A and B are shown apart, each in its own frame.
Chain A
């Protein structure tokens, strides 16, 4: 019993770490309505600034802390609010979450470009010593705290007390909550919502900065990934507090830390239970809380009561354009695909061909996001895990039975669909951010519990997957494999389009427009969403199997880590979550764009090398451009793409398509008007007027999306 208690106490410092991060997330959510996945990235920015001034420039502690926490933290918050989130106050949780996803991807890369990406070892603590273990207290006892732990505990308790006082007893706290509930209603009551919103973001970003500076010394060197890993471990505490209660969130964080320590002390270290449970504990707790915490399952998120006066989201252009244009688009798309295929076949070398194939396969996986996110309105963050299930299923079946790879890929997809269905049954009852968190928790549990198992992933050595052989055609040849991948993409596109136009698709669209209205005419939201989730899982699994056979092995680390899955979501949503062509283009963009950037960034250095007589300032300016900036720049642009979701929730490609369709329709109308003949088809107005089209367009005439560029 004494040992148990001692272990429980040992968990308190870690509990405070979780609590600090979780309270920061809840504060942002309470005061801005944004579940800010970029909180860890903001924390990293302040920690990097603190490192540079405190360690590299040897600033005194106070000035370094003031700059990093009190100046840089709130400045980032103010910038984000002015540039982005002010436009999202009345937006749904999906828009806010996707925007924060974009920031999560972009901010660390911006910091690296500005401050350099060298390894920053031994981050200094927020204390007067330069390393946490240089100050220990109390000495000669069984439980000793270091400077970092004491600073974290003190800061966490102070923050919690201050925030509780702010929300309980100050008018500012009340105004912050009012602006989140409804900025327009708040303004009607004389609240300056702009000012309150800015204050909220500055406050929550200050807390992010504080968390970053406090928690960075937990690691041997400063790394944004470490802070994000801590953040996702702390998510359970935010849900424990219902995303609203600061005291409960604090308690949740503490409990999580204590539970971890108690389990570490009591479970036999070599037991399967310990191996499986301990690493996955935060995610398992998060998942269970989301499923069983009273109030989360049936509660729809609070949204602006005045939001419903706005028009519903526009229907996809493909559903409202004239029939003749659909036919024309199909023909044009077929020609473009054929020409592209021919160009790839005859012109590309193995390197570029490989990137194109990877891009098309990723396009297939992204089509699963179209079904679940675009059509179903559910922000799933576990599609990479479902793709991995397909890949592992394929690899294990081939290894165990020697069966045809094609058959194994299909069975792998079925396995992924089964897992997806099982996951969907409890998860679709959740809404918005809760559903996103539940799927993220599933992805993290899969990574922690299942990926290490040899009967799942093969263990330390990735399982090999051969290429298929179809009759006389050996798909080991990349050109044939490209053709095969394109055919698979076309087949999956057809499935997605049929689903969208079928009963389930129309039900889902009705549900996205109004849950209540859809229910009143007998549409079962739950059943439709489960179907969508299951089909999406099958598509992801199918894509995962294809990726495994293309790469030659089912390698989780290189193909399916959950963080890469988050980038996929950000990329697709910014391109257009309801458009098949956006999925394929996003997949291609993901692989081709960084490679193209690398080539571009290589030119200046090469030019300097081959022109030794160039002026020194030109040589030094061009020589500073490094090819390894490519990934950073690409990720920043991916992030910015997600951020533009605020302006174009339909996606940039869909928006561009709508503009093009509008221009063509106008041009045709003019031509027909000049010729004195009326249009044979009723032509819907172009975007943005296209939003006036009925949400369930297409009931009066055939409207189909060819799935081809258009």
Chain B
């Protein structure tokens, strides 16, 4: 019997002239148009009066994340544009809001392409992005939340049609100056690093380790404790905190989820460790409403203008006004949707009245300083698909009285920018 089984499997494998398809993705029998110089009316999702787009979010997710708010951000931006007459005489419409339930991303992306007749895909606010190849193969302008490695391109596959909210390149394991800069600003000198024993988390910890190796001297801070072997879902940080206490840690930098940072903060309080945290995944006022006192003095940074900005840019004023009108919530997810929509509309306008998908993509990829009316520090889309730009900017926030408080950069600017080539923490003008 075993032989018979092996024979059947071998027969499948030994079909003559077997090879591998050169296509990265399935095309399907009725794949969508990949662009070209078609008239607008011939483009999918475009009528004489409307431009239709669709998006996908992990609405049903085990983390309790409100990723569906990205839809609200897109709709709010479209409301604003439509109130001004739309683009090229056409109204913008989000016609499809799909829920990928985390595991069905590829299927739902395919549904957008095959069933919903959309011109562009936005927002993509999902925990996994297995449908990325489908979108690249179809050449559809796609805008979303850059947390998955599938967003970033390479020299041989630049994925030029995938646009994150502030660039598409993720580099979890790279050194970067923002966190050493925070340590310097906060006057902290002994850093503890914590991460889970899963690839994304441990790579992120390695990146922070490298960052302090490179910028630590200038920041006056060094890593004195590092543990990236925590089991995912652990609820006990007592031993790690005791070790950090012994090592004199005064700043803890983590690559762990909300459960983890809350558990860690409680343990720091129990063992009376006066250390602040750097919180990469905690830009959520609801979290501070419950646990704000535990994070007093802690920091995080964002790639966009903070929602709490005292002197908001025009982009932030518009966002607040229109998200409220649309009945949405002010928050990171809806802002990401807004940024996605803003970039799409920018490309659409630049592509002109005879726009096509490809023209929109090309128009965006010629942008060298995309700021979304001051919401971003400036994204250079000529290189942001495949590499980090030389100038790295971020906005810093500090937890004060259970609220996020923006920390101004040198000269009172909301963003702090660094020249990565210089290898120093000296802030530069964008």
Chain A positions near chain B (C-beta within 8 angstroms) = 6-7, 10-11, 13-14, 17, 117-122, 131-133, 136, 140, 142-146, 218-221, 223, 225-226, 229-230, 257, 260-261, 264-265, 267, 269-271, 274-276, 278-281, 349-351, 353-355, 358, 398, 402, 404-407, 409-410, 413, 448, 452, 454, 457, 459-461, 464, 466-471, 474-479, 481, 487-488, 491-492, 494-495, 498-499, 502-504, 531, 534-535, 538, 542, 550-553, 555, 557-559, 564, 591, 594-595, 598, 627-628, 631-632
Contacts and interface: CB of A to CB of B under 8 A. Distances in A.
B336 interface: no
Given A474-B21, A555-B130, 11 more contacts: A7-B239, A226-B233, A270-B228, A350-B29, A531-B2, A542-B9, A553-B130, A558-B106, A558-B130, A594-B104, A632-B60
Contacts of B291: 122, 131, 220
A487 B30 CA distance: 23
Nearest to A481: B26
A17 B238 CA distance: 15
7 contacts: A221-B259, A269-B225, A350-B114, A404-B18, A460-B149, A476-B21, A478-B27
The 5 A-B pairs with the shortest beta carbon distances in the complex, nearest first, are A119-B64, A279-B231, A350-B114, A350-B28, A269-B227
A350 B270 contact: no
A406 B266 contact: no
Given A220-B262, A499-B5, A464 B24 contact: yes
Interface string B349-360: 000000000000
B290 A122 contact: yes
A491 B8 contact: yes
A466 B23 contact: yes
Select the residue from A402, A404, A460 with max chain B CB neighbours within 10 A: A460
Contacts of B64: 118-120, 221, 223
Contacts of B421: none
A126 B21 CA distance: 59
B101 interface: yes
Contacts of B198: 452
Interface centre among A353, A457, A503 (most CB of B within 10 A): A353
A274 B114 contact: no
Contact of B172 (A145, A267, A460): A460
A503 B9 contact: no
Given A133-B269, A452-B199, A478 B235 contact: no
Contacts of B239: 7, 10, 261, 264-265
B13 A406 contact: yes
B149 A10 contact: no
Contacts of A481: 26
A476 B26 contact: yes
A362 B110 CA distance: 19
A564 B4 contact: no
Nearest to B193: A269
A17 B60 contact: no
Nearest to A471: B17
Point out which of A121, A559, A628 has the most chain B C-beta atoms below 10 A from its C-beta.
A121
B422 to A, nearest CB: 28
Nearest to A501: B1
B269 to A, nearest CB: 5
B13 A220 contact: no
Contact of B1 (A10, A229, A504, A628): A504
B271 interface: yes
Contacts of A552: 24-26, 106, 130, 133
Contacts of B240: 264
B388 interface: no
B314 interface: no
Given A218-B235, A410-B9, A498 B4 contact: yes
A169 B78 CA distance: 72
Interface string B363-375: 0000000000000
A278 B238 contact: no
Contacts of B417: none
Contact of A460 (B12, B13, B203, B270): B203
Contacts of B20: 398, 402, 404-405, 466-469
Contacts of A469: 17-22
Contacts of B258: 220-221
Contacts, number: 282
B24 A219 contact: no
Q: Interface on chain B toward A: helix, strand, loop, or mixed SS?
A: mixed
Interface in B56-80: 59-60, 62-66
A7 B202 CA distance: 24
A386 to B, nearest CB: 15
A78 B64 CA distance: 31
B140 interface: no
Given A470-B15, A474-B21, A564-B103, A279 B115 contact: no
Most buried by A among B8, B9, B31: B9
A41 to B, nearest CB: 14
Nearest to B101: A631
Contacts of B294: 133
A146 B21 CA distance: 59
B197 A476 contact: no
Interface in B228-275: 228-233, 235-236, 238-240, 242-243, 258-259, 261-263, 266, 269-272
Residue among B110, B113, B294 having the largest count of chain A Cβ atoms under 10 Å = B110
Contacts of A226: 233, 259
A598 B107 CA distance: 13
A265 B8 CA distance: 52
A471 B8 CA distance: 19
A131 B289 CA distance: 13
Given A229-B233, A278-B230, A279-B231, A406 B114 contact: no
B155 interface: no
B130 A353 contact: no
Contacts of B197: 275-276, 278-279, 448, 452
Contacts of A479: 28-29
A122 B402 CA distance: 15
A487 B231 CA distance: 42
A96 to B, nearest CB: 27
A472 B262 CA distance: 57
Contacts of A354: 26, 28, 106-107, 110
A677 to B, nearest CB: 40
Interface string B285-304: 01100110010000000000
Contacts of B66: 119
Given A14-B236, A598-B99, A538 B9 contact: yes
B111 interface: yes
A132 B266 contact: yes
A356 to B, nearest CB: 11
Contacts of B235: 14, 17, 218-219, 230
Nearest to B271: A144
